[in-house]
Amino acid sequence: MRALMGIDVGTSSVRSLILDPRGRILSVCREEYRFDIPEIGWAEQDPEVWWHAVCRTARRAVGQAGLGGGEIGAVGFSGQMHGLVPVTRSGEPVRRAIIWCDQRSAEQVRAIRESLGAALGRYTCNTVNTGSLVASLKWMQENERENYARTFAVLLPKDYVRFRMTGRISTDWTDAAGTLAFDVARGCWSEEFLGRLGLHVELFPEVLAPSDVAGPLAPAAAEAMGLSTDCLVVHGGADQVMQALGNGILEPGVASVTIGTGGQVLSLLTEPRYDPGLSSHTFNYLARGQWYFMGATLCAGLSLRWLRDHVLSGLSYGDMAALAAEVPPGSEGLVYLPYLLGERTPHMDPGARGMFFGLSMKHERGHLIRAAMEGVVYSLKECFAVLEALGIRVREVVASGGGSRSPLWLQLQADILNKEIYLSDMSEQASLGAAINAGVGVGCFDSYSSACRGIVTRSPNPYVPDPENAARYGEGFERYKALYRNTRELM
């Protein structure tokens, strides 16, 4: 059996990982990029940027692993969720991708919620929010009619990259669920919902299992990636699902808390769970008959990136962490709302805006950084509050994403969430999950559980809440929630 490649098509970067058949990680290569903000509240990326980053990182990963291109037997995917990539009949992008943190469809979302109300739960078991594929497509139908008319199919980001590899237009059910046009209970596109919106169901691709093989690499793609044409391409799945798989999360009771570009809380379910408060999501997991709860905040790691790039230029993330560590818990009264792109859980409010509250002459750079980190974790605590209100029980929490590589952020999660935080021994969980999924798809592994038993390990020593800090952050959390309530009308 040949080696496996897992590719994570993220918002801030692409990562390509090589896994040998015995479960050893041979190499990981990463290439950063940005998304564009042509107008306030908009967020776009050029799909060609993803493709070229995938090709370059794939070649480097193979070389660093000391392998030849013909020694990679299968490629699998993890991808940023929700984004709209409209393509023509020949597969050319109609326009730049409208990605998950885009807010331009606020008016369309308002109209959908007002016209359909509680029926949304019947159609998809979810509400609709800005940045979702279905909302962005509705915006395009109303505002870019020529582009809508040219659209032959709508893809999600990783599905576009896989199309470039195989020529097949398709998706998987974990990513289809995140379009918010998918009936997660029945496992198919909600034709009734799309009909109510006046959108054409024919635009939506076939839906397969994450472990289904899409086909072999096309010759042009094989040459671009430095691989062989007998390499099989497996569908893959949404980044949150692949990240959870890379953490070995295969049963209810274990939650994943992710701090990446955005932030998410995920926990598996045995049945679809509709949130009557419309503040979270239920999506499909790896196998039929599996679902998961997801709460999300839009600007997690992105808050620190914004500080680094626009306020504290010249500092590395390591410098920022060192400055924040010098500041006492609670940032001496400084509170940050991480709503630079609006907010999802629990507010589902594209009009929410970020702020630092309580600034004084005493506050320095480290205070801004620590307050931002604390504000992100407060937002994740709100996700946990929704999860618990729905009666979902969690006995263990596993940290993921870039935030899991920061000891300070890990301790903040333990203190603010007031929970023990476990950590996988491998930091690139999404691309690892993509490789494991590819291995299941081509028969390298008998099952997800057998693969994870042999590959995924966790540190036996969790980050433990400090009781004094937890009490202080409990008070800070109440101030954080009050700040949004009392300023929303001014945003």
Give the CA angle between residues 448, 451, 453 to the nearest 5°.
Answer: 105
Using CB atoms within 10 Å of the CB of residue 196, give its burial: 0 to 12 exposed, 13 to 18 middle, 19+ buried: middle
Rounded Cα gap, residues 128 and 350, in angstroms? 12
Beta strands, E only, 334-423: 335-337, 355-357, 396-400, 421-423
CB of 426 within 8 A of CB of 246?
yes
Query: How many residues can be counted in the chain?
Result: 491
Known catalytic residues? 239
Could you tell me the two tokens for 164? 């470039």
Rounded Cα gap, residues 245 and 396, in angstroms? 15
Going by the DSSP 8-state scheme, the letter that residue 267 receives in this structure is E
Rounded Cα gap, residues 130 and 122, in angstroms? 20
| Backbone φ, ψ for residue 120 (5° rounding) | -55, -40
Beta bridge partners of 284: 291
Query: Which H or E element spans position 173?
Result: helix 173-177
Going by the DSSP 8-state scheme, the letter that residue 443 receives in this structure is T
Give the chain's radius of gyration (CA, Å): 21
